[in-house]
Amino acid sequence: DAGVIQSPRHEVTEMGQEVTLRCKPISGHNSLFWYRQTMMRGLELLIYFNNNVPIDDSGMPEDRFSAKMPNASFSTLKIQPSEPRDSAVYFCASSQTGGGYTFGSGTRLTVV
Amino acid sequence: AQSVTQLGSHVSVSEGALVLLRCNYSSSVPPYLFWYVQYPNQGLQLLLKYTSAATLVKGINGFEAEFKKSETSFHLTKPSAHMSDAAEYFCAVSGGTGFQKLVFGTGTRLLVSP
């Protein structure tokens, strides 16, 4: 199994631009999570899906952030418009019910 | 609701010394507990997990943790530190069976000196 696959690994964009982060969970996992990690705030849960349905998006910072999971094998996290304070490492993770999470390698986003 | 508190943002040990990373949890239901390790520029990797079976849980790389309900603790230990253990360690809790959301602690950076 290739694990949780995130793309791109690094993204540098200008303030105001749209950014789309992508995640392919492990086949058979029914839950998917998006986290953001920064030095100041640590790991923050942004949103999670169960069986492709968004369950809790209370961690999404503001309306500029949106996430979708159109099918069991793909999810996106979009930031529009991006701001410098969005610079962080964004992790996707997936799990089966009762199991631990498997994390992707993350996307390091820099907004200049 | 669940939460975890990791005591000490940094822990320093000498190579060969005992490693002890502390984690206390709060949960309104029987918890599942996890330890993850993060090496620089990498994602989080599962070290071990407690899911209501044996209270002493053994994980990868020689780490183990003991669930103590009376102390609401799930401390991570390793008898002898290696240089390669230097990383950040995260304790996490979820609400047990069924659909789960993991709540992470703030992390403890382990420094290992020769």
Whole-number Å distance between alpha carbons of B17 and A112: 44
Cα B88 from Cα B109, distance rounded (Å): 4
Neighboring chain B residues of A55 at a CB cutoff of 8 Å: 99, 101
Residue with tokens 């849980």: B57
**Hey, are the CB atoms on A97 and B34 less than 8 Å from each other?**
no
Q: Which residues of A touch B104 (CB under 8 A)?
A: 42-43
Mean pLDDT computed over every residue of chain B: 91
Q: What is the mean pLDDT of residues A86-108?
A: 90
Q: Over the stretch B67-80, which tens digit does the pLDDT of each residue have?
A: 999 999 999 999 99
pLDDT per residue as tens digits for the range B23-58: 999 988 888 899 999 998 888 999 999 987 789 999
Q: Residue A28 corresponds to which tokens in the numbers above?
A: 């058979």
Q: What proportion of chain A, given as a percentage, has pLDDT over 70?
A: 97
Stretch 54-83 of chain B: residues touching chain A, C-beta under 8 Å: none
